[in-house]
A and B are shown apart, each in its own frame.
Chain A
Amino acid sequence: MQGNEAVAEGAIAAGARFFAGYPITPSTEIAETLSRRLPEVGGSFLQMEDEIASIAAVCGASLAGLKALTATSGPGFSLMQEMIGFAEMAQIPCVIVDVMRGGPSTGLPTEPSQGDVMQARWGTHGEHSVIALVPSSVQECYTLTVAAFNLAEQYRTPVIVLSDALIGHMREAVTLPEPGSLRIAERGVPDCEPDEYDTVMSDLDNILPRPPLGSPFRVHVTGLVYNRRSGAPETGDPEVAGDLGRYLREKIYHHRDAIARVEEYEMEDAEVAIFAYGSVARSAKAAVKWARAQGAPVGLVRPITLWPFPTLAVDRMAEQVRTVIVPEMNIKQMSWEVQAAVAGRAKVVDFGRVDGKLITPPQIEELVKSEFYYHDWEKP
């Protein structure tokens, strides 16, 4: 199965019954697959006039009660930022799959990149928080799409899946879970009468579901600053605005240790760690195996959740190793974040590639070698 197809199947398994999108390389197979598959399971596929309309329709479908997603790549992801902000503000669960390609602008349409990791975090304006997951295999394209829907429902927020041209187009064997074995978060209905709805309020540990449009609750959904209790817009009261702004951020940050998932590989006694995500983590793992085969204590820290940033795992790593190598298909976007979190406890070495080519294991091996100058490496 191809990575993009795995995203589509994962979405269906997670209960998604609505997709709206616009064709764009290298994400198009997600739309093509869902155009065939969604009607078979009673869902709807829409090809919209652009990416702005796509994410807008996804917001509308989610508000009407369906689990919904869109898929795109760099230029389309840029266009979606406006309505991602609306989904953040109005707390609309939905999933956005960004199959990253080289940029900016039209850039390198068919080549992989990791250039959107900061756009995923800060792309829309204003204070907000976001969840972004990074698959590094076709299997994870499936499982993380399911996880993205669960997180979206649990935290009532847009969740971004950051795939890339390499993972999206790669074919690998995938083990599909037995039907019924997946944990699927369903959208609930508030446990109160419609006329009490304006008096119940979510808190950080109890995020209440919103009833669908067209129900006795007659909800109002707005992109304006609103009172968290009544849901009514209220732009003249700094206390109300501050309360909402902090809540929208803390809703995710308060739970970041529960949300953040990391794979640690050969880290028990590692003196040097490679911090790598997505397709680059595959090369990084190969480099770790190569180093271990030669007796060098090197490990891999692979964030599966890029946002919220996995602070706990990075803390552990910073306390343990002397050097962190951060290879990524952009220039320093995550290495700055790692450097800030490591806060001087270890050396951070960045390595960026923006030519549309994957960072290879030998390139990472060279970086490892220079951190073990005393080591007796095999001659190539």
Chain B
Amino acid sequence: MSALVDEQLLESPPDGDPKLPRIEPHKTSEIVPWLRTPKTIWCPGCSNGTITRALIDAILGLGLDAEKVVVVAGIGCSGRIAQYLEYSTVHSAHGRALAVATGVKVADPSLHVIVAMGDGDCSAIGGNHFIHAARRNIDLTAVIFNNSIYGMTGGQMSPTTHTGDKSTTSTRGNVEAAFDLSELAHAAGATYVARGTAWGYRQLASLIAGGIAHKGFSAVEAMAACPVYYGRFNLTADPAGFLKGQKEHAVPASTFEEGESRLRDRYPVGLLHHSERAEFTASLARVREQAQEAHLG
């Protein structure tokens, strides 16, 4: 994996406030105990394994109590992460991961609740839950595996498939416009919004760690290579070529022009938005205290 780490992104960690945790990649022997199985259903060249590793690196790097880590996943290629990780895990229903996670976090705010979703999972069938979790600013960390296509079902267009892109349901080119998931999260009220790539491994691990450390709703959009479906129909079916493409397309957020729109071949990476706002479970706790004081007199 080290050969694929983007040295340029590594040497210039994203600027802005707060300082992101620096995550030093752990050895494979340190990562493996946090996987339930060495086998996955993911295709050769898929980035999901890289993103999964970045997530484990972030959890290890922050020194979290593993017993307090809960991963809730949706359905799709990314959803399988739930069965592979050796934490408390829920492989929920398509699009519903954030809503399930909301219940988990409210029931036990001491947990670190991480939500893994695909782009279609998050923004099509789960779009309503996505904007409302962001609006509530509940302390969840959403890691969105964005491969711009529905992979599990064999390559259909998703809400992040770009205009003109080919898929099995847009063979003549997609006529719809793509969501910019990070800007969608920001507009809906997320207080920590970041985008990384599978290519920029260390940056991605840092961005995920920053999201977990942040108190409030964090959206981390992880740009994933899908050479088998998205790549074959559009960019390239070569896994290494796909990742090299990410290196070219990913532009540090600080050099991305204000108001410049995100394109398939040019998008900002790094910590895109960060702010502080009342966190949902903390607000609920205050309501509870007031109600109990009044009730018990």
Contacts and interface: CB of A to CB of B under 8 A. Distances in A.
Interface stretch (A49-57, A131-139, A276-284): A49-57
Interface in B41-69: 66-69
Contact of B103 (A49, A57, A86, A215): A57
B93 interface: yes
Nearest to A55: B99
Interface residues of B, number: 42
Interface residues of A, number: 46
Interface stretch (B148-156, B246-254, B287-295): B287-295
Given A40-B291, A222-B83, A49 B110 contact: no
24 contacts: A20-B103, A39-B290, A39-B292, A40-B291, A40-B292, A44-B107, A46-B102, A53-B96, A53-B128, A60-B72, A60-B104, A65-B107, A86-B93, A214-B67, A214-B111, A218-B86, A218-B87, A220-B36, A220-B90, A221-B92, A222-B90, A232-B83, A233-B83, A233-B91
Contact of A39 (B36, B67, B291): B291
Interface string A231-245: 011000000000000
B129 interface: yes
Interface string B254-297: 00000000000000000000000000000010011011101100
A50 B128 contact: yes
B108 interface: yes
A59 interface: yes
Given A43-B288, A44-B107, A59-B92, 20 more contacts: A18-B106, A18-B107, A36-B291, A39-B287, A40-B294, A40-B295, A48-B132, A53-B102, A60-B99, A60-B100, A64-B103, A82-B96, A86-B96, A214-B67, A214-B69, A218-B86, A218-B88, A220-B88, A221-B92, A232-B36
A233 B292 CA distance: 43
A49 B83 contact: no
A57 B99 contact: yes
A-B pairs, top 10 by smallest CB distance, nearest first, are A60-B103, A56-B99, A57-B103, A39-B291, A64-B107, A61-B103, A53-B99, A40-B295, A60-B100, A61-B107
B70 A222 contact: no
A370 to B, nearest CB: 50
Contacts of A42: 288, 292
Interface of A: 18, 20, 36, 39-44, 46, 48-50, 52-54, 56-66, 68, 82-83, 86, 212-224, 232-233
Given A39-B288, A53-B102, A64 B96 contact: no
Nearest to A194: B67
B13 to A, nearest CB: 31
B111 to A, nearest CB: 4
B3 to A, nearest CB: 33
B128 A64 contact: no
B82 interface: yes
A151 B170 CA distance: 49
B236 interface: no
Interface of B: 36, 66-70, 72, 75, 82-83, 86-93, 96, 99-108, 110-111, 128-129, 132, 284, 287-288, 290-292, 294-295
A43 B292 CA distance: 10
A223 B93 contact: yes
Given A49-B129, A214-B88, A44 B104 contact: no
A49 B290 CA distance: 25
A149 to B, nearest CB: 15
A43 B103 CA distance: 12
A44 B284 contact: yes
A35 to B, nearest CB: 10
A270 to B, nearest CB: 47
A54 B96 CA distance: 10
Contacts of A39: 284, 287-288, 290-292
B67 A220 contact: no
Contact of A216 (B67, B104, B294): B67
Contact of A83 (B68, B93, B106): B93
A223 B75 CA distance: 10
A63 B288 contact: no
B67 A218 contact: yes
A195 to B, nearest CB: 12
Given A53-B128, A56-B100, A214-B70, A64 B83 contact: no
Contacts of A82: 93, 96
Contacts of B66: 218
A54 B129 CA distance: 10
Contacts of B292: 39-42
A82 B132 CA distance: 20
Contact of A59 (B68, B103, B111, B132): B103
Contact of A49 (B87, B90, B100, B128): B128
Nearest to B84: A220
A50 B68 CA distance: 29
B106 A44 contact: yes
B83 A213 contact: no
A52 B96 contact: yes
B91 A66 contact: no
Contacts of B69: 214
A275 to B, nearest CB: 37
Contacts of A59: 92, 100, 103
A217 B87 CA distance: 9
B92 A86 contact: yes
Contacts of B288: 39, 42-44
Given A44-B106, A53-B96, A219 B88 contact: yes
A215 B88 contact: yes
Contacts of B96: 52-53, 56, 82-83, 86
A46 B284 CA distance: 9
A370 B163 CA distance: 70
